[in-house]
Amino acid sequence: IAGITQAPTSQILAAGRRMTLRCTQDMRHNAMYWYRQDLGLGLRLIHYSNTAGTTGKGEVPDGYSVSRANTDDFPLTLASAVPSQTSVYFCASSDGLAGGPTDTQYFGPGTRLTVL
Amino acid sequence: GQNIDQPTEMTATEGAIVQINCTYQTSGFNGLFWYQQHAGEAPTFLSYNVLDGLEEKGRFSSFLSRSKGYSYLLLKELQMKDSASYLCAVMDSNYQLIWGAGTKLIIKP
């Protein structure tokens, strides 16, 4: 089934631990994104990748890192988790970056992360 | 700074019509998107506007006025399953999406 998968679905993590959230898409989209969503706030971009081999910082990148070794995978790593990173994390992908409907982003089901 | 404003919450009756407004101030404009998000689920794409005017898609329509920095999402013949949050997002000059906080729509029978 085409789309985006994320793992794990949910996780409870002790502060200070390292954690990698996985994201895989099979739509051959060029661009991929990581967002966090907190109650009362809009989706906030953490990191993005316009194409395999490149990454960029979004609005809230501190404490997170990403890599894009191939088209399909875009893992997000929390090097040393803190309670303020408790959130729902969504991965998304889009086909184009030239303006137009191909810029539409498609989302994975999300990972609910709690840092204690 | 960049800003997207939309009402926090709206209530409407099953079978009625509701209009959800969105105003924006962004660095450049490369299109406006509306997404629907049911509680506990991921956002799903509803509509895209880049030119002024109304785009109709079944029970849902989206309107854009670039000169006013304004859009609305119109939902007709409301159904209980339309209870969800509706997210407005604008693509800026760097092709990054700027998101509003979302409007929670409550449908009452």
Spell B91-109 as b/e; 16+ CB within 10 A means b: bbeebbbbbbbbbbbebee
Q: Could A103 and B50 be called an inter-chain contact, meaning their C-beta atoms sit closer than 8 Å? A: no
Q: How confident is the model at residue A19 (pLDDT cuts 50, 70, 90)?
A: very high
Give the chain A residue whose CA is nearest to the CA of B2: A59
Q: How far is A49 from chain B (nearest CA, A)?
A: 11
pLDDT bucket at B1, cuts 50 / 70 / 90 = confident
Q: Is the pLDDT of residue A64 over 70?
A: yes
Q: Is residue A25 predicted with pLDDT exceeding 80?
A: yes
Residue B79's identity, in one-letter code, is Q
pLDDT over 70 at B75, yes or no:
yes
B35, pLDDT greater than 80: yes
Q: With contacts defined as CB-CB under 8 Å, which chain A residues touch B96? A: 45, 48, 58
**According to the model, what pLDDT value does residue A1 have?**
57
Q: Is the pLDDT of residue B36 over 60?
A: yes
Question: Which of A35, A49, A88, A107 would you mutate first to test chain B, the one with the most B CBs within 10 A?
Answer: A107
| Contact across the interface for B99 and A44, Cβ inside 8 Å | yes
Query: What does the pLDDT read at residue B11?
Result: 98
Question: How much is the pLDDT for A20?
Answer: 98
